[in-house]
Chains A and B, each alone.
Chain A
């Protein structure tokens, strides 16, 4: 006691730092931080800087940006990306909700179902695209079955256009959205729905007024993650889509700039544009999310 008093009324530096959340355990994040700086931050900054240095200095620092927005074909790639990524991400989240609602708690065959759903994630986009190409193609099983049943007379075109890309994004993105949603929904105390039922709420009202509001913040995060994954679509856009036409997405445009025209600054500029649009959507969703209740879902006992 006396020692502390003789040092003056100020608590020691260590205590003051600990008060603000700095302590020695925090040092453990240093390796991860270094990793982030070297592998992520540095390339990002490097690319960002590079995008303001067009080849030959044409058009000043914003030359490549002006060129991108000045070229209708290039500009169109923004719209193409949104047209593919938004429906895919929305579908993934919306389809995950009812299934996750059914699968929470103890359901027979849950583990098998989860395994089946995780497989596409581990297969990787290229393999999935190859598979879809033969399955959905004009001579694939799907078209042959539908024609055999007389439901259609002409093969429907599901590959080499944006539909192929969207379908592949659903196949690889849905398991991801589902597992996330399932974990959010499992965190909601089922007693609350029981309480709602004793207060006269049927299944739909319980979902609408209790589960959904508590799930919504998690759904926002799930949407952001699947959207970001879909927005960066590349292999399936090339393999399953029409990379010169309706699947000429931002990643394809950037890859073309880098590897066909060897214009790295242009590729960097396109990447920066991709990041900006992605962040805009994420920021919008998170802003909406912040207006929702996002506290504990454990059941109102604190």
Chain B
């Protein structure tokens, strides 16, 4: 199978409805050749649905998928040539590791010698050369995972789709495999659509993130954009903005700064996302953006409620005089019952109307 080339994979208005619910609605996305895109979102938001639609395993209810000018959404999965790593691996239990990896090449009637060469290379790539004759049930979870990856990438597919490939692994192995994923993507340069519910994984691997919620796209952007500038409270919450506060916007101040107050706090936000300059708003702040001490006029007087030691630093739960709870991370050693002043940089205060 020749490695067909294309310059972009385009999804337009991709929608999938089930009998009672719409699992994915109106997903539009353009993936460049060689790009690594992560679909990110909580459980049930439609990530697997999106991937299955891409692979051709689920017919679309509406929309189109095309490679450059060639529509592919009407092709059966076996003719689409997208590789897929399944959420639960879906290895063939009756075949050895080698024959699992060779399966796709055999289906394409690749000459024997070439199959042997490519399978060797793929097993080498995922560091499983020593396990070629074992059956999947004789492998650990992480090894099975790597077989699933080898089985997909040995085909050198135009696009490889991965559905939470690391979700069944323990924390250490997940971290290791994350490195391997990066290495694989660098070495093979395969266009990848990667599904995960783990924001850290998405941030560390992807060139671009697509955040989904209830089947709808919330935000598409580079990892640092999504991380630093979530477009709405849902994305903010998902990206770890644990402090979500109901406050009131008092109007714009000098230089486009916005004043928000409420819950015994008065803060300045330097932030372009805000809709209305007045009225009820939600303010989102990451725990690690809150620091001990006043910052550029932003000060909150709080009482330390609880301290959790996290190894490198501490996670504190503090309370304002009006009883609003805040979370912050700091390396300073504070104790319960202590009164402190904390602050936050105006550009790290997100305001959503």
A200 within 8 A of B: yes
Assembled-state Cα–Cα distance A196/B94 (Å): 13
Q: Is the CB of A198 within 8 A of B94?
A: no
Q: Is the CB of B78 within 8 A of A296?
A: no
Contact residue among B81, B107, B137 (Cβ-Cβ distance under 8 Å from A295): B137
Q: Is the CB of A200 within 8 A of B108?
A: yes
A-contact bits for B107-147, CB 8 A (1 contact / 0 none): 11000000000000000000000000001110101001000
A contact patch SS: loop
A301 within 8 A of B: yes
Instruction: Please tell me the number of chain A residues within 8 Å of chain B, measured between CB atoms.
Output: 27
Contact residue among A194, A200, A214 (Cβ-Cβ distance under 8 Å from B93): A214
Assembled-state Cα–Cα distance A299/B148 (Å): 11
> Closest approach, in angstroms, between the C-beta of B155 and any C-beta of chain A?
7
Q: Is the CB of A299 within 8 A of B103?
A: no
Assembled-state Cα–Cα distance A160/B308 (Å): 87
Contact residue among A200, A205, A292 (Cβ-Cβ distance under 8 Å from B1): A200
A195, A196, A198, A205 — most chain B CB neighbours (10 Å): A198
Q: Is the CB of B93 within 8 A of A191?
A: no
B76 within 8 A of A: yes
Name which residue of chain A comes closest to B108, CB basis. Answer: A200
Q: Is the CB of B86 within 8 A of A199?
A: no
Contact residue among B81, B93, B108, B151 (Cβ-Cβ distance under 8 Å from A299): B93
Q: Is the CB of A214 within 8 A of B55?
A: no
List B contacts of A298 (CB < 8 A).
93
B-contact bits for A187-202, CB 8 A (1 contact / 0 none): 0010110111111111
A109 within 8 A of B: no
Contact residue among A202, A292, A301 (Cβ-Cβ distance under 8 Å from B88): A301
Q: Is the CB of B104 within 8 A of A300?
A: no
Contact residue among B56, B89, B152 (Cβ-Cβ distance under 8 Å from A300): B89
Q: Is the CB of A198 within 8 A of B84?
A: yes
B91 within 8 A of A: yes
| Given A214-B94, A299-B90, A302-B136, A194:B57 Cβ within 8 A | yes
B contact patch SS: mixed
Q: Is the CB of A300 within 8 A of B93?
A: yes
Q: Is the CB of B92 within 8 A of A192?
A: yes
Q: Is the CB of B77 within 8 A of A301?
A: no
Q: Is the CB of A201 within 8 A of B78?
A: yes
| Given A195-B84, A197-B57, A199-B155, A299:B107 Cβ within 8 A | no
B83 within 8 A of A: yes
List A contacts of B90 (CB < 8 A).
189, 191-192, 194-195, 299-301
B204 within 8 A of A: no
Name which residue of chain B comes closest to A292, CB basis. Answer: B94
List A contacts of B103 (CB < 8 A).
196, 199, 201, 209
B168 within 8 A of A: yes
Assembled-state Cα–Cα distance A199/B168 (Å): 23
A293 within 8 A of B: yes
Contact residue among A192, A200, A301, A302 (Cβ-Cβ distance under 8 Å from B107): A200
Assembled-state Cα–Cα distance A189/B81 (Å): 22
B36 within 8 A of A: no
> Closest approach, in angstroms, between the C-beta of A10 and any C-beta of chain B?
34
A202, A296, A302 — most chain B CB neighbours (10 Å): A302
Tell me the A residues contacting B by CB distance below 8 Å: 189, 191-192, 194-202, 205, 209-210, 213-214, 292-293, 295-302
A-B pairs with beta carbons under 8 Å apart, 15 shown? A194-B86, A196-B107, A197-B76, A198-B82, A199-B151, A200-B104, A200-B107, A201-B103, A202-B76, A209-B103, A214-B93, A292-B94, A293-B94, A295-B135, A299-B90
Given A205-B107, A302-B137, 8 more pairs with CB closer than 8 A: A195-B91, A198-B77, A199-B103, A200-B81, A200-B108, A209-B107, A210-B92, A300-B92
Tell me the B residues contacting A by CB distance below 8 Å: 1, 55-57, 76-78, 80-84, 86, 88-94, 100, 103-104, 107-108, 135-137, 139, 141, 144, 151-152, 155, 168
Q: Please name the 4 residue pairs, one residue from A and one from B, whose CB atoms are nearest each other, closest first.
A: A300-B91, A199-B104, A293-B94, A191-B90
